[in-house]
Amino acid sequence: HGPGVTPRLSVPPRYRRERALALRSSSSALYNNLAVLCPPARPPRAFGAVHGTTLSLLGPEGPPRQLPARGGCSALSTPLLTQAAWCELPARVLLVLTSQRGVQMYEADGSTLVFWHALDILEHPAAHSVFARGISAAGERFICVGTSSGAVLVFDIPPKGTNVTLSEVLEQHRDPITDIAAEQGQAPEGAGDLVTADDSGTLCLWSTGEEFTLLGKIPGSGCTCSSVALWNGIVAAGYGNGQIRLWEAGTGQLRAQVSAHARWIYALDLAPLTGKLLSGAEDSFVHVWKLSRDPDTDDVEIQHCHTECVTDTQVCGARFCDPAGDTFAVTGYDLSEILCYGPA
Amino acid sequence: MSARTLPLLFLNLGGEMLYILDQRLRAQSIPGEKARKDEWTDVDRKRVMNDIIGTMFNRKFMEELFKPQELYSKKALRTVYERLAHASIMRLNQASMDKLYDLMTMAFKYQVLLCPRPRDILLVTFNHLDAIKDFIYESPGILNQVDETFRQLIETYNCLSDGEFQLIRQTLLVFFQDMHIRVSIFLKDKVQNSNGRFVLPISGPVPWGTEVPGLIRIFNHKGVEVKRTEFTTAGNYVTPQREGSFELYGDRVLKLGTNMYSVSRPVETHMAGSSKNLASHAKENTVPNPLAKEELNFLARLLGGLDIQKPAGGETGFRLNLFTSDEEEEHAAQTRPEDLSYKVINIEATQEPGRRAELSRILGELEVAEPRPGSAGKGEDLLALMDGL
């Protein structure tokens, strides 16, 4: 290839389908509908996928389990879950579930309920749907959860025990929160270590601590940002129009735009050791990309590495299963399996 | 999750029901002069369509429907359609009603899944309403009612954001989760696989507002584009030509939600049954339903708004068969898989008496003039009343 010509490379497959893990029930069409716990020291891992009112759990030992949403009673129907994620803090790992009623936090194996926070339903007019959605560990001792009003709840997590407290409520978003992500690498000066995203595509950058500080806001253009990741000061965001955009966290500048998918993106995940980015969408495709930064120009680079097509399936969850991104797992709507992929 | 899902669910399922009934009535109709007293004519068909559509779109019912509320179970909703289907001289046996409901739900599930954008569910709804208007264009009164509902849809939904439409879509997909009934017309058209799952094409026009995948653009720190690269995938997409109209009248462009049945393409279903892995699925039908109270409240409100005109004294109902013969219908009734039966909601003994009485009264008013075997008394056993629906 000559200089100045950007070659359309035919890349040999980097991954192949390894196995499928059977779930007790199929996965629901929800953003980021796959939770993976990957302790660095040992496989096998734990997986979780939401089906309606329950979370299907596949742990390292024992049969698959189901965790129900809380907040149902004889007068009210069991609430629907919206998301589940493991939050890894230095002192402990908690499994967090969000639903139409509130936030449930369990010990990592799902055995014990540690904390329950009920959303204030009365505050919302009847026409608006009420739910919690968007989960992330933040700043070494917090867990952040988004809500349909746009508020982000910041919970202070003690190293052990059940004394979780609501430390702060961040009110910068006007639309329902879709996803929250913490910095997985090294944040450059002033770039912040947490990003929150909402239905309108607005992104907020925060610095975490006793008090969270808003560092910057990237206004949305009406196109939903359904999934977001933060790595070395780069925000990777997936949108309803199938685009992936990379933003400079410190300045809010757009650095890359990818026409990645033909339908709504449902999941993004990032492998912090290598900068690999995984995207899954309703168009049945899963793509693996590679993020990097040119050390001379400071330009952000994104290259396409690999494609998988999950035939006749709308992908709703996609996560790397190791920090280098050599393996990943995928869920789809109506699919009663977790599909696992490994090195080719 | 979205409190605005029910009107879209109800109107689209209703639209599919009307397509199917219209097709079956045409298939079974006899020219007027030749018809015996118990056979369908064209006049009968139009009357049935008028009766059902008129009932569906009455103001009080629509008012209840459009109130922000949660979606209820497939069982609860089926009760409303069973009522509607009997709003005229037409009668359906259980097996035919089951099949009708299966077809309606699988058709709308297909449309929801294949909608390019979540917002396009509204275009699907408009397609159904356009067709409904065609069914009753000779009745200006009913046409007005349908237009009223059309306007209410536009007012309620045109201003919603894409995110809110996706929430509606996700709520609908929870409702349709794990349904894989094979529909003959879908199998023939190769839009459904033999395992009951729909074919999701990876070619064709991308949704309006989405770019064809393949382009990567890089910008420098000043926001100037400095590089373009391309990547290729297995998909074969093209740019769409134009967007469908969200106005009262207009070209919807989207074909989803238009009538796919015709007299030459009859409707059949095969009971695929659910896979063995889904243990929880079978459980749903055997455990007493603790949601009964809330669902009964919902039914009471909705059915209370249905203003069913009872057939004039002395007129008996005409039976419509969704199958091609009585023997087939009988066979279907006997062989329907356990986990696909729409069992009646079991009502707890501690049911609040006031609510029971109210629903009992409403259901009583809607009762057709048929002797009900073994019923001890109206207020006494609500379960028997629902059984008889």
**Chain B residues whose beta carbon lies within 8 Å of the beta carbon of residue A77:** 70, 72, 291, 294
- Nearest of B234, B53, B9, B202 to residue B114 by alpha carbon: B202
Whether the pLDDT of residue B30 is over 80: the answer is no
Computed over every residue of chain A, the mean pLDDT equals 90
Spatial CA neighbour of B68 closest among B154, B116, B6, B151: B6
pLDDT tens-place string over residues B147-176: 999 999 999 999 999 999 999 999 999 999
Cis omega (within 30 of 0) on the bond before A44?
Answer: yes
Mean pLDDT across the stretch A154-174? Answer: 95
- What's the pLDDT score for residue A141? 94
Averaged pLDDT of chain B: 77
* B1, B72, B202: residue with CB nearest A309: B202
- Please tell me the distance from the alpha carbon of residue B3 to that of residue A128, in angstroms, as a whole number: 7
Phi, psi of B187 (to 5 degrees): -65, -45
Q: Shortest CA distance to B176 belongs to which of B120, B261, B98, B113?
A: B113
Q: Which residues pair with A20 in a beta bridge?
A: A339
Instruction: Give the model's pLDDT for residue B43.
Output: 82
B303, pLDDT greater than 80: no
List of E strands, B68-224? 90-91, 182-183, 203-205, 215-219
pLDDT digits (tens, 9 = 90+) for B113-148: 999 999 999 999 999 999 999 998 889 999 999 999
Residues B379-388 have a mean pLDDT of 34
For chain A, positions 70-89, list CB contacts with chain B under 8 A.
74-78, 80, 82
**What is the per-residue DSSP string for B91-132?**
E--HHHHHHHHHHHHHHHHHHHHH-SSTTHHHHHHHHHHHHH
Distances (CA, A) of A21 to A306, B83, B179, B282, B317: 22, 43, 21, 21, 53
- Find the mean pLDDT for residues B217-243: 91
Please tell me which of A291-295, B103-107, B234-238 the model is most confident about, judged by mean pLDDT: B103-107
Which residue of A75, A255, A284 is in closest CB contact with B200? A284
Mark yes or no for CB contact B226/A299 under 8 Å: yes
Question: Residue B312 has what pLDDT?
Answer: 46
Measure in Å the smallest separation between the Cα of A316 and chain B Cα atoms: 11
SS3 at position A254? strand
Q: What is the pLDDT of residues A11-39, one digit of tens each?
A: 567 899 998 998 889 999 999 999 999 87
Which of 243-262 (A) contact B at CB < 8 A? 243, 248, 251, 253-262
Annotated domain spans of chain B = 5-198
What pTM did the predictor assign?
A: 0.87
Q: Span A93-112, mean pLDDT?
A: 92
State yes or no: pLDDT of A88 exceeds 50: yes
Distance from CA of A78 to the nearest CA of B (A): 8
Residues of A in contact with B70 (CB under 8 A): 77
The tens digit of pLDDT for each residue in A246-266 reads 999 999 999 999 999 999 999
SS3 assignment, position B246: coil
pLDDT of residue B1: 85
Whether the pLDDT of residue A79 is over 80: the answer is yes
pLDDT over 80 at B278, yes or no: no
> Where does the pLDDT of residue B270 fall: very low under 50, low under 70, confident under 90, or very high at 90 and above?
low
Nearest CB partner across the interface for A28, out of B70, B167, B174: B174
Q: For residue A97, what are its two tokens?
A: 């579930």
Q: ipTM surpassing 0.85, yes or no?
A: yes
pLDDT tens per residue, range A199-244: 999 999 999 988 999 999 999 988 999 999 999 999 999 999 999 9
Query: What's the angle, vertex CA B182, arms to CA B181 and CA B183, rounded to 5?
Result: 115
Which of A241, A283, A302 is the closest to B209 by Cβ? A241
Q: Within an 8 Å CB–CB cutoff, is residue A326 touching chain B? A: no
- Predicted pLDDT of residue B260: 86
Contact A223 B218 (CB under 8 A): no
CB contacts of B68 in chain A (<8 Å) are 126-128
Rg (CA), chain B: 23
Domains along chain A with CATH numbers: 5-343 (2.130.10.10)
